Structure 1
Amino acid sequence: MNAETLARKPPITVDKATTLKDVAKTLAEKKIGIVVVVDKNAPDTPLGVISERDIVRFLATGVDLNSPAEKYMTSPVITVEASEPLWKVAEVMRSHNIRHVVVTKGGKLYGVISIRDLIGEESVLRGLMEYGEKIEERGPAAD
């Protein structure tokens, strides 16, 4: 199974000029954990992301919620190509300590996979377990 089969598409996007307050509203209304920030003139190119955790951090530190998303988005975007196997998606999430990864197809925005998507699919969990067993056979990775 690859990233393309699990990616939630279309991803929820906001324009780079969208206020953080409106980003928070979008997250709440859509019941999602992340939005992809794009330029309305190039909606297939992810510029950054803003997550629920980011919004909480902005509130805690007194960031002006009327600021544009572009000013506070996380960039560059960590992406995986749609053809990547799901074990690679899980590895990217683990190595970057993130709960969402943006999926591209041919370099264009395709979807988003969350950690919940990965653990919510029994077949995905089986595949990740098999991958883990193969790693154990090779021995631990050097950090």
Structure 2
Amino acid sequence: MIGQFAKKEVVKATPSTSIRDVAKLMAENNVGLVVLVDPRDPQRVVGVVSERDVVRAVAYGIDLDQPCDIIATKRVITLEYDRSLAEAAEAFRKHGIRHIVVTQGGKLYGVLSIRDLIREDAALREAVAFQEWTFEPGMSA
């Protein structure tokens, strides 16, 4: 279930937030994605702005005081919180993205990053390696 790996402390902004302020939010919170929400319903996702979006805005000379809505991705890739890690991995690969917005009943639940999955995979491999090293066949636990 991806919900157990998703970060529930989501960095949010509204579509009218400036690109500059979104970049500041990313830097201050050490995240690569800001979820844009409806100002009237902070659980309703209306877009996302990624680090890539901000870099492109800078590269193309877009005024950073413009609303982030002009650089945001509106077709957000979401998965329900009870979906499998395999489905999340496939979505990352298929769409060439690094973050998935996780929903519960269509409402914002959290964000899962590919970095979260890599960390989880590394932790699991380390635990298995430790267990194999500690508990050799024929040893009692």
Question: How far apart are the structure 1 equivalents of 2:30 and 2:60?
Answer: 24
Report % sequence identity.
Answer: 48
Contact 1:49 1:73 in 2 (8 A): yes
* Structure 1: stretches of 5+ with no match in the other structure: 127-143
1:46-61 equivalences in 2 (<5 Å) = 46-61=45-60
Q: Does 1:115 align with 2:131?
A: no
Q: Computing the radius of gyration over CA atoms, which structure comes out larger, 1 or 2?
A: 2
Contact 1:10 1:110 in 2 (8 A): no
Partner of 2:28: 29
Moved more, 21-30 or 38-47: 38-47
Residue correspondences, number: 125
Contact 1:102 1:112 in 2 (8 A): yes
Partner of 1:5: 4
Partner of 1:100: 99
Deviation, structure 1 residue 125: 6.3
Distance 1:97 1:125, change over 3 A: farther
Deviation, structure 1 residue 75: 1.0
Residues 84-141 of structure 1: CA distance to partner in whole angstroms, max 9, x if unpaired? 0111001001000000010000000000000110010138867xxxxxxxxxxxxxxx
- Moved runs in structure 1, 4+ residues, more than 6 A? 123-126
Question: How far apart are the structure 1 equivalents of 2:56 and 2:122?
Answer: 35
TM-score (norm 2): 0.84
Contact 1:3 1:86 in 2 (8 A): yes
SS in 2 for 1:8: coil
Question: How far apart are the structure 2 equivalents of 1:50 and 1:125?
Answer: 31
